[in-house]
Structure 1
Amino acid sequence: MHPRRILLKSGLALAATVAAVLAAPGIGALAQGGAGKPVRLILPISAGSGVDAIARAAGPALGKAFGQPVVIENLPGAGGITGAAAVVKAQPDGSTLGLVSNNHVINPSVFRTMPFDAIKDITPISVLGSTPLVLVVNPKVPAKNVKELVALLKAKPDGYNYASSGNGTIIQLAAEMFLDEAGVSARHVPYKGTGPMMNDLIAGQVEMGVVALNAVAPHLKAGTLRAIGLCGDKRSAAAPDLPTIAEQGLPRYNVAGWFAVIGPAGMPPAEVKRVHDAFARAFTSPEVLEAMKKQGTMIDPGTPEAAASFFRSEATRYAALVKRANVKVE
């Protein structure tokens, strides 16, 4: 397949945003202790994303499992760096945690400089599960499957746009990997989060994009967006009739979204265990499992040790993918 080169914009805006977060004296002020105090759960993504839907569905169960209030806060920006920076800056007492996704380990390979070390400056607590990604198009696009979409893109090179939730995110990489596997091209239109991206997809301002299945399912049901195929290697129980992209002629294409809970570096082992056990109880409770099943999200909370190993292996994997796609920071 032909190599692809993507110029990503970082510049002074990224540096200024992250610097402001790292310098903010009030980070972590919502809760000044561990057990018995409110928990601030930071989502480094915008409202309307797949991880946001997961966190909101599990919120009540998390409060019960912790035995204390859990405040869920969206803090998007810079592909997840802004929110993760707030977690890194916080006191390591379990009062400030983050729910991160693939982007957390992708960013070091995408951005020339990072304000923190994505592996060393956090405490991995648990990889909680994964959620399917799906390639969708606006209904005005005359394609109902991979074969028809690839034919359109080949007939009109660079005549179509694809949206992403931000430069260098798993959403962009998943779309770029599809284009690379299919040997076609399209113009990239980055947005500041999944919500704005979805709005323009539905409005027809952009023609296609990759989105988490749980975030896009209502729009597929309403007919305001059309699914082309799932991005993973297996069909989803939440959409059993929707074929994968791999089974439609691109057998090497396989991308899924995962989500994990992290804390600042230096959390005491007892606090790591307390937080891990609370998340495991919440996410394996009957009501959350049922909600996740409806979303097509797979739940399998792992240990802190497994999370640490997974983060390292995923960082290596995505570094190779970023290099292959020739992703560059402008």
Structure 2
Amino acid sequence: MKKIMLCAVSIATLLSSSLVGAQTTAQSAAQAFPNKPIRFVVPFPPGGGNDILARALAPKMSEILGQQVVIDNRAGAGGNIGADFVAKSPPDGYTIVIASNQVTMNPWIYSKLPFDIAKDFAPVAQVASVPMLLAIHPEVPATNLKEFIALAKAKPGSLNYSTPGLGTPQHIAFEVFNFDAGVKVTHVPYKGTSPSIVDLIGGQVQATLGTMASLDQHVKSGKVRPIAVSTPQRSPAMPDIPTIEEGGLKGYNVPLWYSVLAPANTPKDIVAKISASIRDALKDPQTKAQLERQGFVESYLDPEQMSALITKDLAYWQKAIQNIGLKLD
């Protein structure tokens, strides 16, 4: 009996020591983080909102963390390829992704996704939000939203709009616009923001919903005509441009927000460290001014707040996308 009791005590001691050892190892890993460069995945080609934000944040994050934060553009499948790459990466904090709120839209427009946004990621932070700008080619005979809607109703199917790809927030936002306005402007998806705007400027498409950062220079040069923003409030970056709601579509509200995500099971201390570097980078006057010039509104949320927002948005977009009846497979 004594041998059995001694054996039980020994096992308990070993288990206790193992748990303490595991905790110490996890703490040591978190304290040592980062000891090599961090891969910051942008799931779209250069030039879009995700890319602009990541490149604005990376230098200051590198300075704060003491390791280089390297931008890695992995485009394709409306952002799903880059996001899936991060979801399947080791949960050690060395691979993160900048994702827009399409991650809360895509589960409802695709019957099969290679990842589960609620299970396969650890939310790190919300970075910024930005109104989307409804812009048209200057030769389109409309100077405001009401005239554009009237034109679309008078010539059903004759107008096209461009986006960075299927399932992107720009795509969903325009389909919500089509539904609310009772029109059918035809979607033309591109492989990224830049080519979608190039064809708008060239007149191959007549309209787009894009980030202010991607359209600002073309608005100033007169190559595109802005007619409305997608949020209930006007943008400080373009205060003269009315909202879509002001244009007659009551209740229309499709903001574009950007978050940083890590693989699920990334240690909380490491997530907190990355999140703090983002928070502090956003406080940097030079970084803040750069983002404001491009229409971004700094809107930092910590990991817990970001997790709550994802849960809320998943429920919102499930209902909204069911209403418009959009499915991509």
> What is the CA deviation profile of residues 149-179 of structure 1, one whole-angstrom value per residue up to 9, with x for unaligned ones?
0111111011111112111221111111112
Structure 2: 5+ residue stretches without partners? 1-31
User: Residue 265 of structure 2 aligns with which residue?
Assistant: 266
Matched, 1:152 2:151: yes
Q: Structure 1: how far apart are the matches of 2:319 and 2:176?
A: 12
Equivalent residue pairs, number: 298
Q: Structure 2: how far apart are the matches of 1:247 and 1:287?
A: 33
Q: Would the aligned equivalents of 1:40 and 1:73 in 2 still touch at CA under 8 Å?
A: yes
Amino acid at match of 1:183: G
Matches within 5 A, 1:105-120: 105-120=104-119
Matched, 1:287 2:286: yes
Deviation at 1:56, TM superposition (A): 1.7
Q: Would the aligned equivalents of 2:237 and 2:293 in 1 still touch at CA under 8 Å?
A: yes
Deviation at 1:59, TM superposition (A): 2.4
Q: Would the aligned equivalents of 2:47 and 2:193 in 1 still touch at CA under 8 Å?
A: yes
Deviation at 1:115, TM superposition (A): 1.3
Deviation at 1:225, TM superposition (A): 0.8
> What is the CA deviation profile of residues 255-285 of structure 1, one whole-angstrom value per residue up to 9, with x for unaligned ones?
1100001100111111111111111111121
Greater Cα radius of gyration, structure 1 or 2: 2
Deviation at 1:73, TM superposition (A): 1.4
| Structure 2 counterpart SS, 1:328 | coil
Deviation at 1:42, TM superposition (A): 0.3
Q: Structure 1: how far apart are the matches of 2:62 and 2:284?
A: 12
- TM (norm. structure 2) is 0.88
| Structure 1 counterpart SS, 2:234 | coil
Deviation at 1:300, TM superposition (A): 2.4
Matches within 5 A, 1:208-227: 208-227=207-226
> What is the CA deviation profile of residues 89-108 of structure 1, one whole-angstrom value per residue up to 9, with x for unaligned ones?
11111111011001112111
Q: Which has the higher helix share?
A: 2
Matches within 5 A, 1:86-105: 86-105=85-104
Matches within 5 A, 1:1-330: 34-330=33-329
Amino acid at match of 2:119: K
| Structure 2 counterpart SS, 1:181 | helix
Structure 1: 5+ residue stretches without partners? 1-32
Deviation at 1:299, TM superposition (A): 0.9
Deviation at 1:36, TM superposition (A): 2.2
Q: Structure 1: how far apart are the matches of 2:52 and 2:314?
A: 25
| Structure 2 counterpart SS, 1:240 | coil
Q: Structure 1: how far apart are the matches of 2:51 and 2:316?
A: 25
Larger displacement relative to structure 2 (118-127 or 44-53): 44-53
| Structure 1 counterpart SS, 2:312 | helix
Deviation at 1:46, TM superposition (A): 2.0
Q: Structure 2: how far apart are the matches of 1:297 and 1:311?
A: 20
Q: Would the aligned equivalents of 2:57 and 2:278 in 1 still touch at CA under 8 Å?
A: no
RMSD across aligned C-alpha pairs, in angstroms?
1.2
> What is the CA deviation profile of residues 92-130 of structure 1, one whole-angstrom value per residue up to 9, with x for unaligned ones?
111110110011121111111111111100110111220
Q: Structure 1: how far apart are the matches of 2:324 and 2:165?
A: 16
Q: Structure 2: how far apart are the matches of 1:244 and 1:329?
A: 28
Deviation at 1:227, TM superposition (A): 0.5
Q: Would the aligned equivalents of 1:79 and 1:107 in 2 still touch at CA under 8 Å?
A: no
| Structure 1 counterpart SS, 2:246 | helix
